[in-house]
Structure 1
């Protein structure tokens, strides 16, 4: 009796399909639970869970296809007249699948990287065959800059939008900011040397690390960056006001603090101590 029951189940494709799906989901759940309880770092756990999910999904698709291949063949022959309509209806899904394969072959990013897909900027927290999930980051913010918004980008976007991997800019960035001041008859270049000295003082604590990190980026990306020395330029805008532009290579978390310090130094030079005012008039 058990033998006959097993034979019937082995010939029943629906039972085979349910057994296959249940087995794969059980193994995936056990592996995921094991990874989450491990002592690995958060990003390593994400990568392993992501790999298990993708591999289990692939096993389910292949297994179900093998089980139902004969029925699928007969079904495909029976709907040959509607093949064009089916392709049109599934073009978005097919585009996402092909986009996922394209991204996997190009290895343009992985889970944990900072990427910009078109205008969407965020940290990759999941990537499957159909979509890529990003934890949005404010492109104009500093520090971590997370907005708390989760973005779901279809993989078909890889064919229509540029993909930029910004992972090397997570620690250090080339930060540029401008200070605008109304010209009151003074020479705006009088403050340039003073601000240059102050910027170098603010960057002195991380200068060696910044140089090593800059060389690391150049070696990995095969490009030559502008370097770590701060750059200061004095220009004017359409209103005739003086514009002091400072560009420096600094830790992302310290960019806002350094910008505030330099801004304070600039205005203190013009409006600070009395001796500074006397020196300005002499200049």
Structure 2
């Protein structure tokens, strides 16, 4: 291709950019400083890519060669792909998304589409023969499968996560005995805000846990919030054998109903939705008290429903309410582990 043809094509490309609005000043959206920094980063990246494309154009003009021309077209494809998807579509559409989770998912999807399109176009530029193109795809796939097995597994796992929606950002999950709230789902790794470990009550530890996406191919995934936002919790209350266990059960049940009334209604509606999607038999969401006889006391096992992320707060509220209610009952005594001394051995002192 002659230098004049390259000049015309380059001029057409640069004249296309202002019409797309790439050089318009973008106002900072509702996400504030973070969004502004992201816009600046996009502009810097696009400027770097455009500068590289201009340099490749000059090289192709001064030193005409098929490889230099392909390099120029590759960088042009990069500028167009990045400029269209990341600098135009992502800000315009993302600005209209009010929900943070929806905005995050849209950004991830746009990034995948951007680099996928660029990769396909790049292969098409450098490999013209269709048969050679198929062979190239095959060789690339075989090389990735053999030499980069772990990376390939993580990549496939990331695609499966996006397609099947096993979990997404905002879900609370457990993978390979690692618990946490998902804060980022990438193509290769998933990032958790870790919970449990040395902290009780399913609360955050403050550590970030990075899990390879390939784990979903080898381990069981426990998702606490995929179709509903509740779990069941239990509490054990011991009372003495001379206590009125019937009255104790009534007091405990009253406290549980007061604490879980609104949540029980929400749980019923969520389970009705699950029945339409799964072979799912509805569970009892009303609080229940079960009685167990032990060697030392009468054990009351309390079962109630709670929000996934509020388990510790609900546990505290239920415990405090039950303790206050039982203290008002004269015929109910909370048991504890005690030792009764029934006698002393004879002690003789010798001089």
TM norm structure 1? 0.74
8 Å contact kept, 2:241–2:298: no
Cα offset, 1:53, TM superposition: 0.8
User: Which of these two proteins has the greater Rg computed from alpha carbons?
Assistant: 2
Trace 1:21-32 onto structure 2 (pairs within 5 A). 21-27=78-84, 28-32=86-90
Residue ranges of structure 2 left out of the alignment (5+ in a row): 10-56, 334-351
Of 220, 229, 249, the residue aligned with 1:171 is: 229
Partner residue of 1:200 out of 234, 257, 274:
257
Q: Counterparts in 2 of 1:18-57, with a 5 A limit?
A: 18-27=75-84, 28-57=86-115
Task: Please list every run of at least 4 consecutive aligned residues from structure 1 whose deviation after the TM superposition is greater than 6 angstroms.
Answer: 83-86
Q: How many residues align?
A: 267
| C-alpha distance in 1 between matches for 2:143 and 2:88 | 41
Q: Comparing 163-172 with 228-237, which one deviates more in the overlay?
A: 163-172
243, 248, 255: which is aligned to 2:304?
248
Between the two structures, name the one with larger relative contact order (CA 8 Å, sep ≥ 6).
Answer: 1
TM-score of the superposition, structure 2-length normalised?
0.61
Question: Counterparts in 2 of 1:156-235, with a 5 A limit?
Answer: 156-168=214-226, 171-179=229-237, 181=238, 184-187=240-243, 189-190=245-246, 191-235=248-292
TM-fit CA distance, 1:248: 1.3
- State the match for 2:176 in structure 1: 118
After alignment, is 46-55 or 83-92 more displaced?
83-92
For the residue of structure 1 that corresponds to 2:281, the secondary structure is coil
Name the stretch that deviates more: 198-207 or 3-12: 3-12
Task: Rate the CA distance shift 1:203–1:92 in 2: closer, same or farther, 3 A.
Answer: closer
Runs of 5+ consecutive residues of structure 1 not aligned to the other structure: none
The residue that corresponds to 2:157 in the other structure is: 99
